[in-house]
Structure 1
């Protein structure tokens, strides 16, 4: 099932959008995307979130920032307080709005970095969420000018959250969040993203980086915060998720397309990373 395009409207007295929505009895699975950035705070709710190729559990106070056109949905399983509805607070703003602010105001440069990182989706740490939660909850009841100042304040605070967790598989798009200090890691990453379905050899990757195998491992882990095996697995499973969601090819064929020679190994790694079997994942998108 392909995500549907959600149309976000902006009020006449504002330059960005927001909505506070009580959902009862559940937050339904609604796979969608839109060209705006989205900051979502979910309260009185537990369940699973689906963002790109990411599947993960969420709980009360879940705070996530999504980059433009990143498919997503939340799907609840329970409430903390059964007598009250799930509560979803969403803030949207367009890329050109963000570029205008961060390009004009030097003080907002940290926000530009935050938005670049959001291309993979960002789940904020508990500490950062606690620092902004009250401001987000209060923003809906303020006049437009105060809301704008509070939104900028929230974004600046979140930009300081070094523990924010990227959610989807790594990307080599222009908005890639991977840190890079030179051509060595770029050469390796470009090669991996072109050949991750192949049988990869450490000695070849080390030569690309002009390093010894041990030096290559240290460099790769320092820049990506993942081992080579973890990085390649995420690339393969991420592509498998896209194929499972949008195509009806047999699962064994998809496993082979993304580089797995063993269907059993594919199934084990898929469930370890996503918490679902490939068939269970596909069934979420049936319809």
Structure 2
């Protein structure tokens, strides 16, 4: 069974596998250095992205995500409005604050390498991080794979199943839609009641409800942000934001008897999230960043 909080997680755009995953991997690397008392020994770090990450990393913000992760940021709480200035500071000053505390020299051109034609075994989204002391000796090196949906595994999982099945026993197990309907028929519970009963196998009902409301809060803020921002989306294609202009147009309409007018609002909500995702804003990965606009749009409707 999979918890709703595995399917819906708070992250940043534009990609769960190419942005969220690399940020988490980079932070895991420096967190390990800190936990083992090695952070103070580090004078330089190097990050290499391979396969799909190396080929499309610049367009998906993988390079920015790695820099922020090395500074200790996580997708759930990083200030998305500060990403641009922070990355520019790193590139200009050629300095990183590892885990927010350990200042080290960092040359983005030499120490952050995106290999366009090289891949690591086991998965196309591979990354290698290395830390060195002042004498150039290697302190630690680790390899990670971003396996989709923001999930990250290290090399220890490369030869085994990369995502382990959750063995938690839930009250109403099922594997197919037909089995779910059999559960509702046999218990008299609605689908939502079945799912809530299963969710409390992992956490209390109060925590489930609070967690869902937090996800909904992030979705609402994402829609509102996307509906109020004009301008051009990042990247070389110069794509103009459309959601804010569409919202102004819909709000200006009066007396429309078109029964499908509601669908224009649903489309607007989804587009607003998609544009925030493309701009590197905070979104709910539901269950991927590419589909992040669908659930908020339906819930708003």
Return the TM-score normalized by structure 1: 0.28
- The structure with the largest alpha-carbon Rg is 2
Return the TM-score normalized by structure 2: 0.27
Which protein, 1 or 2, shows the higher relative CO under an 8 Å CA cutoff with sep ≥ 6?
2
